[in-house]
Amino acid sequence: MYRVGFPGWKIAARFGIPLTLRVHIHYDPEVSSYWTSSPDLGGLIVTGQTLDELFKEVHLATPDMIALELGKPAPLARTTFTPVDHFATA
């Protein structure tokens, strides 16, 4: 697997190499929901009431975000993400 944001990641994606990216998970206690940000893929901000819903939304949004970065639809590549933190916002 090759991480989004590393040098040459777009070339790797075009060849169908599986990608990985970091996703920061945040919890907003005021509305009891989760939201994400990613230092690897700018603009990947999704929300969900549960972690399962959040993970589904990330998996749905990631291919579209990668396609936007590539400037064309990305070939089918298995993309995974690794939550790097989970904390409550004040």
What are the CA-CA distances from residue 8 to residues 4, 5, 14 (Å)? 9, 8, 10
Q: In terms of residue numbers, what domain contains 82?
A: 2-88
Give the total number of structural domains in the chain: 1
For the segment 38-86, what is each residue's pLDDT rounded down to a tens digit?
888 888 899 999 989 998 998 889 888 888 888 877 666 565 656 665 5
Say what the pLDDT of residue 23 is: 86
> Dihedral of the CA atoms 55, 60, 61, 62 (nearest 10)?
80
Question: pTM score, two decimals?
Answer: 0.77
Q: Tell me the HSE value of 49 on the side-chain side, using a 13 A CA sphere.
A: 0
The CATH number that applies at residue 43 is 3.30.2390.10
